[in-house]
Structure 1
Amino acid sequence: MPADTNTTRSTGLHVGEIRPGVPKVDPIIVADNITRSFGGLKAVDVEHLEIPRNAITALIGPNGAGKTTLFNLLTGFDKPDTGSWSFDGKALAGVPAFKTSRMGQVRTFQLTKALAMLTVLENMKLGAKGQAGENFWVSLLPWLWRKQDDEIEQKALKLLERFKLDAKQDDFAAELSGGQRKLLEMARALMSDPTLVMLDEPMAGVNPALTQSLLDHILGLKAEGMTVLFVEHDMHMVRHISDWVIVMAEGRVVAEGPPDVVMKNPAVIDAYLGSHLDSDIGVVTGRVGVVKEKKK
């Protein structure tokens, strides 16, 4: 694991006292009054939220906290009941998912979305934007798009080599392991040269042998100037690679700040365990667990 440098990593990200909705020095996402209800359940109720640019931000919280729903709203995969938000200064309310992707905001999913009956290389090439061959009439004239297609393929091959999937380029995506599919999704996301990469539980279902590789790749995204926002339950991962942590519970942002500060916040302990439980937060194999006190 990388050395714990949370104090230095988080310096200069926020303005003023740390609290839910604290302004950021240079936010890439700004959201106001985002709400989403399903029947009588208000899944998301976020008054104000800012995501810092060129940083790795973790979005954490117990199951049902609204993390993935918020992801879906911010990326255009779902529509909020109320609210407005912007990405890189551009308003996104009402903008569909494919357009937000073209603007530089891409995401992966907890359940991978690789096209199983296409090869790994074909999946990668689909991630490139602005392909001339996608136009029906242009597609009938190969000399108009062949050069661009060759360039896209070379870019895809370089990324596959970087993610150690080059040996699998001709395999069907269905033949990959769960961890390899996560790597493929992340690599495919980079085909569009994104500004912001949003990862929904990148470690879920990943073989421990690939965990360090995924961590290194996430850190590599920041090193290349990208912003990362990810949903995760693995507190060991959150503590070691995040610059900033946002905590949700019952659809609301209840705390945010540098990892070491957030982990000690009573609101975070309450969000995970419930104030009515006589419990402590324990780190069990890298994950937050409930350690109940033995009855006397």
Structure 2
Amino acid sequence: MSDTMLTHPLVDGPVGPGCKKVDPIVVADNVTRTFGGLTAVDVAHVEIPRNAITALIGPNGAGKTTFFNLLTGFDKPNTGQWSFEGHSLARVPAFRVARKGMVRTFQLTKSLGRLSVLQNMLLGATKQPGENIFTALIKPLWSKREETITSKAEEILARFKLLEKSEDYAASLSGGQRKLLEMARALMSDPVLIMLDEPMAGVNPALTQSLLGHIKELKAEGMSVLFVEHDMHMVRHISDWVIVMAEGKVVAEGPPDQVMNDPAVIDAYLGAHHDTDLGEMTGATPVIEENDVAADNADKKNADKREGAI
């Protein structure tokens, strides 16, 4: 059966690249970004469904992170318009995008190593009167708010099993723990849409399961999730909807099982090897898990050295 003949509860009409959603939280049109003669992003139309976990996948160089950067104000497009909850965010600076409820994390974590875990969390909170140079001089004007956000930070850290490290330097955390901290810090601003750029990259299998559980909890709490990921087994396991990019364009989208068997997707990843199932290919490879463990252990050793230097 042709993809265009299929329907889905999230979609208003037939399933296919650029299909309209029943309740989109993000709508993007004609978004392009070029670097010299290279077109990194060329998205004609895409919609992100509300209160769903959407995976953005594609081979290396497909333009996924660049598209993330454009939507969240960390880069400027050559052309295009996009909206979040009906409000245009085209060319809106990143800090204003975050204030509106669209918050992202990064593949390379952005924790401040010389601040404690708790201090990193407090940086993510909004509406802090103590940030004003005048009110900062009068403690009663900001002390109650600081108590409120500190309590909130401790609750989130407990949920992410990081509370016992709240007074530790962020630099002392392992790579996987820094991923948890970045996701936890994003929740301090009460986001409506949380965008995760390769949240599982470099994380050992034990913490991967923890991160997966937290992502599912985000949806259960009413948030929408958009994440970039390469592990097709993980994508199939956790996502409600999958959007596939290749050479800057959206080449396919749909529910996970349908997308994994789409010839356009298989061609984007594997060339002419259409007899290979993407989920099976990337599903359970011991070498990958061993590399994840090795990477996480190396991160922890380097972090220990940095903490000693501090």
TM-score by length of 2: 0.87
Rate the CA distance shift 1:82–1:142 in 2: closer, same or farther, 3 A.
Answer: same
The reply to whether residue 153 of structure 1 matches residue 156 of structure 2 is no
Q: Which residue of 2 is the match for residue 218 of structure 1?
A: 215
Q: Please report the RMSD computed on the Cα atoms of aligned residues, expressed in angstroms.
A: 1.4
CA distance in 1, matches of 2:281, 2:79: 39
The reply to whether residue 134 of structure 1 matches residue 131 of structure 2 is yes
Shift of 1:278: 7.7
CA distance in 2, matches of 1:273, 1:97: 35
Q: Which residue of 1 is the match for residue 47 of structure 2?
A: 50
Residue pair 1:273, 1:279 contacting (<8 A) in 2 also? no
Give the 4+ runs in structure 1 shifted more than 3 A: none
CA distance in 2, matches of 1:59, 1:278: 21
Q: Which runs of 5+ in 1 are unaligned?
A: 1-9, 289-296
Q: Which residue of 2 is the match for residue 97 of structure 1?
A: 94
After TM superposition, list the pairs within 5 Å mapping 1:1-296 onto structure 2.
Answer: 11-275=8-272, 280-281=276-277, 283-284=280-281, 286=283
Give the SS at the match of 2:134: helix
The C-alpha deviation readout for 1:54-73, integer Å capped at 9, x for no partner, is: 00000000000000000000
Rate the CA distance shift 1:80–1:285 in 2: closer, same or farther, 3 A.
Answer: closer
Give the SS at the match of 1:280: coil
The C-alpha deviation readout for 1:146-204, integer Å capped at 9, x for no partner, is: 00001000000000000000010000000000000000000000000000000000000
Q: Which residue of 2 is the match for residue 292 of structure 1?
A: none
**How many residue pairs are counted as aligned between the two chains?**
278
Rate the CA distance shift 1:243–1:137 in 2: closer, same or farther, 3 A.
Answer: same
Residue pair 2:263, 2:274 contacting (<8 A) in 1 also? no
Shift of 1:284: 4.1
Residue pair 2:58, 2:230 contacting (<8 A) in 1 also? yes
CA distance in 2, matches of 1:209, 1:257: 29
Which structure carries more strand by proportion? 1
The C-alpha deviation readout for 1:248-272, integer Å capped at 9, x for no partner, is: 0000000000000000100000111
TM-score by length of 1: 0.91
Residue pair 1:35, 1:81 contacting (<8 A) in 2 also? yes
Shift of 1:274: 1.9
The C-alpha deviation readout for 1:226-255, integer Å capped at 9, x for no partner, is: 000000001111001100000000000000
Residue pair 1:235, 1:287 contacting (<8 A) in 2 also? no
Matched residue type, 2:117:
V
Identity %: 71
